[in-house]
């Protein structure tokens, strides 16, 4: 069952967004991936976004770089939660993407995560948390995920001890 739609503005975003797909797979969340541009394929992006709810999708993750309007365009035509992933750019290191994604007008919210790979993974985790609001099995998977992260950090926490002279 497809619960998450991942939309990206360009195939060049696919490598970074693989982090998102891998994280969704880890949680067992079904997803689909589409390449749609807010600027080059606006009609297709609109039509795709409008149909998502009727298809049972629960969350949209939209990744774009530069003039990153994709998440906002999608949020403008659906009532589903939209998570924006700003892509790193060569010109401004992704700050242009971040500001384009996060600065939305009142009434068109986009939950924006970090630039690049960490943002892609966090978008998947945030989508899982949204799904977990009314899905107890997902909530349990998220609890286990957080416990595993803590165990990993604590396993390497004793770096050095010095008893002194």
- Percentage of residues in the chain with pLDDT exceeding 70? 100
Q: Where are the alpha helices (DSSP H) in 54-155?
A: 70-75, 95-102, 117-131, 136-155
Domain encompassing residue 94 = 2-154
Judge whether 164 lies within some domain: no
| Nearest 10 degrees: Cα torsion 103, 105, 110, 113 | 10
Note the pLDDT tens digit of each residue in 83-131.
999 999 998 999 999 999 999 999 999 999 999 999 999 999 999 999 9
pLDDT of residue 140: 98
* Residue 59 lies inside a defined structural domain of this protein: yes
Name the domain count of the chain.
1
Residue 160 within any structural domain of the chain: no
**What pLDDT score does 165 carry?**
84
Q: Is residue 159 part of a domain?
A: no
Instruction: For 7-35, give one letter per residue: b (16+ CB within 10 A) or e.
Output: bbbbeebeebbebbbebbeebebebeeeb
Quick: pLDDT tens for 32-45. Answer: 999 999 999 999 99
Q: What are the residues facing 33 on neighbouring strands?
A: 6
d(CA 43, CA 118): 30
């Amino acid at each position: 069952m497809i619960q998450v739609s991942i939309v990206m503005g360009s195939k060049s975003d696919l490598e970074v967004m693989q982090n998102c797909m891998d994280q969704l797979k880890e949680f067992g969340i079904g997803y689909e991936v589409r390449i749609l541009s807010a600027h080059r394929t606006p009609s297709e992006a609109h039509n795709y976004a409008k149909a998502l709810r009727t298809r049972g999708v629960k969350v949209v993750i939209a990744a774009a770089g530069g003039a990153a309007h994709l998440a906002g365009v999608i949020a403008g035509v659906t009532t589903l939660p939209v998570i924006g992933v700003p892509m790193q750019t060569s010109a401004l290191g992704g700050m242009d993407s971040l500001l384009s994604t996060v600065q939305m007008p009142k009434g068109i919210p986009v939950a924006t995560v970090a630039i690049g790979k960490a943002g892609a993974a966090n978008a998947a985790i945030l989508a899982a948390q949204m799904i977990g609001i009314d899905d107890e099995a997902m909530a349990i998977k998220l609890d286990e995920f957080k416990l595993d992260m803590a165990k990993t950090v604590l396993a390497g926490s004793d770096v050095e001890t010095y008893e002194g002279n």
